[in-house]
């Protein structure tokens, strides 16, 4: 799936939103060939992510 970076979002923000945990930052970085997890992301950049990599699924 594709996620479009918004203004002032970090890789950590996006990992928390998509994967349910900041532990997902490593999966997000690996999928997008990002070497530095503290990189400043530009708004509008597309990031790929895998739904199967979700760390904390919602409890029902």
Domain locations in the chain as residue ranges? 2-51
Pairing of strands 2-4, 46-48: antiparallel
- pLDDT, residue 20, reads 86
15-44: average pLDDT: 94
Give the range with max mean pLDDT: 1-15, 16-30, 41-55: 1-15
Both structure tokens of 4: 């479009």
| H or E stretch covering 60 | none
- pLDDT, residue 21, reads 87
Is domain 2-51 given the CATH code 1.10.10 in the classification? Answer: no
Distance CA 33, CA 14 (A): 15
Distance CA 12, CA 28 (A): 9
- pLDDT, residue 48, reads 97
Task: Give me the sign of the Cα torsion angle 19, 23, 29, 30.
Answer: negative
27-38: average pLDDT: 96
């Amino acid at each position: 799936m594709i996620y479009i970076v918004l203004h002032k979002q970090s890789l950590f923000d996006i990992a928390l939103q998509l994967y349910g945990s900041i532990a997902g930052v490593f999966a997000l970085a690996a999928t997008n060939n990002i070497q530095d997890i503290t990189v400043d992301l530009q708004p509008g950049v597309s990031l790929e992510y895998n739904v199967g990599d979700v760390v904390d699924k919602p409890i029902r």
